Amino acid sequence: MPNEAGPSTGEQAKQHALARLREAILQGEMAPAQRLVENELAERFGVTRASIRAALIDLEAQGLVERIRNRGSRVRLVTVEEAVAITECRMVLEGLCAARAAVAASDAQLDELDELGRAMTKAVADGEPMTYSELNQQLHAKVREFSGQRTAVELLERLNAQLVRHRFQLALRPERPQHSLDEHLAMIEAIRARDPQAAEAAVRAHLAGVIEALRE
């Protein structure tokens, strides 16, 4: 793999390695339980081993990497039960964001949610689960953004990063996108109606469906 251009040492190098490693894990380029060899990563990203080690420590704190004594680091495998527990936490935080968005979103922002809803409906009709999965993530991100609840947003970004493998697996189940679509359209409708209680309830109902699907 070719080296990537960039600073080889110092804080900038660490941040470069951290961003690229995180992206590789989130995009599924690095599989759960895959060993992360410092020498190989240093060569790949054109930084020192010290920069890689510092980036791995940060990724461990984010729950994406686990360091095993005397055996180095590997991509952390999130079990189904952990994924359920994380989703239970998401219910509270995403419910809060939806309720806030129902009050705070501008008319233009509500139109953006409608547009995403239409695109998600088309993706399901066209049988494009990965497109739907990507739009799904965009919708949740927009609701978080429109809520203005920065603390909840930061917590959710960390929680959601740990669910990448499970998200891909759910997206590929034949029946899942249609169930999920109905739940998301209910969320959009409640936010558009500027009904915070209904918006929160819709998010909780959707994530209860995710938990049920994870346990199947």
Residue 120 C-beta-side C-alpha neighbours within 13 Å: 28
Residue with tokens 């060899």: 37
d(CA 143, CA 150): 12
Q: Please count the other Cβ atoms lying within 10 Å of the Cβ belonging to residue 74.
A: 19
Nearest to 157 by CA among 60, 86, 205, 58: 86
110-119 tens-digit pLDDT: 999 999 999 9
Angle, to 10 degrees, between the axis of helix 10-26 and the axis of helix 38-45? Answer: 100
pTM beyond cutoff 0.75: yes
Helix, strand and coil content of the chain, in percent to the nearest 5, comes to: 75, 5, 20
Give residue 5's pLDDT.
46
The structural domains of the chain, ordered by start, are 10-75 (1.10.10.10), 80-215 (1.20.120.530)
Residue 216: band (very low, low, confident or very high) from pLDDT cuts 50, 70, 90: confident
Find out whether 51 and 5 touch, Cβ atoms under 8 Å: no
pLDDT of residue 3: 44
pLDDT at 191 over 80: yes
pLDDT at 161 over 50: yes
Query: Contact, 144 vs 160, CB < 8 A?
Result: no
C-beta of residue 153 within 8 angstroms of C-beta of residue 193: no
Model confidence at 44: pLDDT above 70: yes
User: CA 26 to CA 162: how far, in whole Å?
Assistant: 8
| pLDDT at residue 170, as a whole number | 83
3-state secondary structure of 202: helix
For 3, residues 6+ apart whose C-beta sits below 8 A from its C-beta are: 43, 44, 45, 46
